[in-house]
Amino acid sequence: MHTKKQRQAADTWDEAECKDVIAQLWTLRESMQAYELSLTPLLQGIDASYKASARNLAHYLALRHSDRRDLQEWLSRVGLSSLGRAESHVMANLDKVLGILHRLTGQPWAPHSIDEPVGIKSSHKLLERHTAELLGATPSERVVRIMVTLPSEAAADFGLIRRLVASGMDIARINCAHDGPVQWRAMAGHVRRAARSIGRPVRILMDLGGPKLRTGLIASDAKVLKIRPLRDDFGVVLAPARVGLRVAGSGTPVAGASAHVGVEAHWLEELKVGDHLDLTDARGADRTLVVVQQDEAGFLAECSHTAYLVPQTELRRQRAGDLQHCRGLADLPCQDGTLHLERGAVLRLTRGEVLEPSRKRKSKAQRAVPTVSCTLPEVFDQVCVGERIWFDDGRIGALIKKIDPAWLEVEITHARDSGEKLAGDKGINLPDSQLRLPALTEKDIEDLAVVAQIADMVGLSFVQQVCDIETLRARLLQLGKPDLGIVLKIETRRAFENLPALLFSAMACKNAGIMIARGDLAVECGYERLAEVQEEILWAAEASHMPVIWATQVLETLAKTGLPSRAEITDAAMGERAECVMLNKGPHITEAMRTLDDILRRMQAHQTKKRPLLRALQAWKMPG
């Protein structure tokens, strides 16, 4: 540590003090070389294209092993590089500082470039080369690529994908946790076709689902069909609601219907076009259906008001004084259930599937313990009492209180005052637990055969340890695709803690990158730590000359609603420090792409990585 006198070097030059700093820098340099030497067996397995990068990462880890802030302050005060932006060329930056200090103190200096794996220019070229090999050539209009997650409808809608490509999509992401091989092949085919027709290269990333821990389905007692007309902004009906009436149990669709209900066969036979069917819906509102069309499947009826149809709803047809009742409706959709959870409540997670009807609020004396299953019951043997558990992207927090061979009992600790609703198929995070789950599930291994045929790179979800990467590489080798690009999705606390080892392992591949999956990562590490965690990931990736994908909730409000929040505009601007920014699907995705494109173009003139650029500021008026 430096003394107060040492930190005042900006005002008085002290040669002895300068020589002391030189000695400290030499010690630091030797520690970098020693750490690199200790990693010799590991570095031997690195791909040739990443050899220099792996050595530089070793030097960076040695640099950051101890607190260097006092040294940084001294260097900055005398006008030298403080080593704070040396991620991409650590040894070269240190040697430049040493060379200047030697000359200032009249000591001889000879270049030590033989010890330097990369310099400032060569490090930038390495990152550019690695990025181009994984993510494709640099777009002509900006440096940072834009990735878009394809929605399910992209499998049947070539026009949608063509619009995305035309709007600037550089990489299409297909999430293998949804849809299936038929849809994935269709999406990939549309992407290739659109890219050829527009003349814009587009790559495809396919994310494996991984061992995602989620809640099981929750059944509901409620069977209800909501029908509603299409209205404009002033509430004027533009098109009536259309419901098909068909024989109960029939699966044949009625032409033009957006929803169907089953009715008694003998009642349906007496129906005619033009009939008016009166009903009282589940809310007690009087409504009328007008029969407008008939086909072989049944009748099409229209309604100009919103109505809620339940099994008990009666349809009353009156014609020439003859009133006929259809007593009850069939084949209504069963609603997905939810569990209402309040702070202090107890919830049970079970191994087996539990389809428990959701419960309305009751008194504590009446309320049974709510129960839901989870998709990976093997975690029951790997958790401990007192560990935290989070549901639905961190909306609901709890502590594990009891562990039984058949279930876990947790107490809700984090929820709004009014409580929270937990639905099925919601994510579960166990940030304190040391889970031993393979990154490749049986489904992932089956999906990988398709991915290897149609994708340019594969996303390894929930990677946590080196063996996960090695397993994936072995599978790709078996499939004859050893050089397929690999993207490590950093989304768990354990992955973040093991990041250096994961990076070294990834550098055994020819094409590799990382994705900062900020959604799960925030839950796992804590929202208050997310900014710090994502910074550290960016630094380590830059030291590895490895491309980064900035992901999760980028311009999400804009993509979903058409109107961005101020905070997410600033967040999108931070994405300029990565090599690619990922947007998720939404009805306003093309608008979100245009906005992101504009932000990235502007920011690349102001900043590269964490280094600000002194572009002329023409917006200000100079006083005087």
Condensed to tens digits (0 to 9), the pLDDT of residues 310-338 reads 999 999 998 877 788 888 899 988 767 88
DSSP state of 506: H
What confidence score (pLDDT) does residue 244 get?
95
pLDDT at 86: 94
Which band of pLDDT confidence, cut at 50, 70 and 90, is reported for residue 13? low
Ranges of CATH 3.20.20.60 domains, the chain: 128-211+437-607
Locus of tokens 């040695």: 62
Q: What is the pLDDT of residues 102-157, one digit of tens each?
A: 998 999 998 888 999 999 999 999 999 999 999 999 998 899 999 999 999 999 99
pLDDT at position 4, please? 53
CATH number for the segment(s) 338-429: 2.40.33.10
Within the chain, all domains assigned CATH 2.40.33.10 are found at 338-429
**CA-based nearest residue to 309, from 335, 273, 276:** 335
- Is the pLDDT at 184 greater than 80? The verdict is yes
* Contact criterion met (CB below 8 Å) for 90 and 63: yes
Domain covering 225-327, topology: Elongation Factor Tu (Ef-tu); domain 3 (2.40.30)
Angle of helix 566-574 relative to helix 589-603, nearest 10 degrees, comes to 60
User: What is the pLDDT, as a whole number, of residue 293?
Assistant: 95
Label residue 9 by pLDDT band (50, 70, 90).
very low
Q: Are 91 and 38 in contact (CB under 8 A)?
A: no
Strand partners, 241: 303
Mean pLDDT computed over 404-426: 92
pLDDT of 12: 55
DSSP per residue over 268-281, as a string? HHT--TT-EEEEE-
Say how far apart CA 221 and CA 332 lie, in whole Å. 12
298 contacts 329 by C-beta, under 8 angstroms: no
Read off the pLDDT of residues 546-559 as tens digits, 9 standing for 90 and up: 999 999 889 999 99
Mean predicted lDDT score pLDDT of the chain: 90
- Report the distance separating Cα 245 and Cα 260, nearest Å: 6
| Alpha helices (runs of H) in 387-465, residue ranges in sequence order | 442-454
Q: Which of 88, 82, 86, 85 is nearest to 69 (CA)?
A: 82
Q: Is residue 414 exposed (0-12), middle (13-18) or buried (19+ Cβ within 10 Å)?
A: middle
pLDDT value at position 76? 92
455-465: pLDDT as tens digits: 999 999 999 99
Domain with CATH 2.40.30 in the chain: 225-327
533 has pLDDT over 50: yes
- Quote the crossing angle between the two packed helices 466-478 and 442-454, to the nearest 10°: 50
Helix/strand/coil percentages in the chain, nearest 5: 35, 25, 40
| Alpha-helical runs (H) found in 440-498 | 442-454, 466-478, 493-497
Q: In whole angstroms, give the CA distance from residue 89 to residue 100.
A: 17
622 CA to centre of own chain: 44
On the question of pLDDT at 401 being above 80, the answer is yes
**Does the domain made of 128-211+437-607 have the CATH classification 3.40.630.30?**
no
Query: Minimal CA–CA distance to 523: which of 399, 396, 412, 420?
Result: 396
pLDDT at 357: 47
Q: What is the pLDDT of residue 353?
A: 60
CA distance 55 to 32: 9
> Cα separation of 191 and 186, whole Å?
9
What is the average pLDDT across 216-228? 81
- The mean pLDDT value for 239-262 works out to 93
Q: Can you give the pLDDT at residue 3?
A: 53
How many Cα atoms sit within 13 Å of 480 on the Cβ side? 3
Rg from Cα positions in the chain: 31
